Structure 1
């Protein structure tokens, strides 16, 4: 990444993104189920970004970035950013090429293609998506929209935080956010500064942000695959996102795949929303690792049917 790309967004950038998204993105609800509160003995509110266009928060940042880019768009993503960029490009009359791992859930690959994007598949374990993206840029040209290390993307994701700030329940001081490279959590931390503290949540074994916050500098995950939470498996924190999180976020939290699956089942049982594993980790942390009233962001619901059934069966 060129140093010229390392300008972090501001609160004003998030407000501007909210203006661009008005009438295009869904203002998602902040849900609460008294039955779930009774089960866990405290109040949990869920920001249902699984109800956003393309089934995840990623549409926010994608639309904000694509609206400021040229006619040819390139992105790389495990699936949710891919779908967000593909739909934003279609709505704004751009052409999009998306680099996706071949082991991404089939529903995400299919949906990305259905929005009109060209999909280039790669092996996540042996190939580097950034190298593939650089080659495609040199061959075809266009504008690269990174999934999290892009100020326009971070600003767009931060609009979710603006909505939470406007409806923050009394007594809530922390907002738990599913975290991969940190685009959503960094944008949320900027938007919620002065209202509530953001805490990142990651799957066990892929908790690079949590470990980096402790170390005081970015550290890398040893593995690239090996969790059901495909949407948030990134090698290490972003160059733009980590400084924001270091300054504004609280200690990171970690959950297991089994806890994510259980959270998916509880979200369905009590709130009647569908979550994917990576989109359920913040709720899992709220349910199993937090002892106070809290808001958890349900960041995505693009799950293959068989895996969703597995989650429901595991909690039966």
Structure 2
């Protein structure tokens, strides 16, 4: 038998690699340490080399073990995903949807959807976290989440088991606090140079987008005065401060964007689609269909730009 076909051994190997201890891995797997040790010897025989370096300091992966690890992870993740997808299709009803979403979605779109689902589909459990598209796609591949809600400007091909669906169009705008001097003026690109620029890390490099736009308008590239680890931390800096940054226009309509205003300029800095990436096995599943209907209803009610996207 190929080492990669022996799923129990792969799961035991991953437990050892994760804990770096045969004793801890055995406890986690609810088996004895001698039995786990025999399993690892058996796996090494099938692979044809040592995967583990055993010493008084604990367990470390050998070079061969490091090569073997990502393949083992991929096979176990694919198996878990296939099992979940089969049960999803068999039952034709979702009982839990794990969602990773961008801040505009978690603050503005999903809360009323979740409230409606609580009465219309009480057996459906929604588990939500905030995240970026890049991180969510990796979590979708490993089966850690079922759906991502947010910007989907990256159009690279997805694995066949994932679906990308655009629901509305958004754009980046220059954003300041409502008491900021620029909020009281007729917008002039050159005035942006007079205030400190705020950069944050996300799916889009906002500083590059804004700089490219400004250069086209006759300005110059921007140099960040402050760099924030996320868009949420950037929001804290914007309130009652002289900072300027770029945000999706939806932020100014959301609860977390209260007190912020977007500066009016004829040409958008960047236009992008926002929507869903989800596991294909959820198509046609009762609870998931209700969730999608609820999202579309909220988007329409809040006047998002949904032209030609549904």
- Structure-2-length-normalised TM-score: 0.24
Point out the structure with the larger strand share: 2
Max Rg structure: 2
- Structure-1-length-normalised TM-score: 0.24
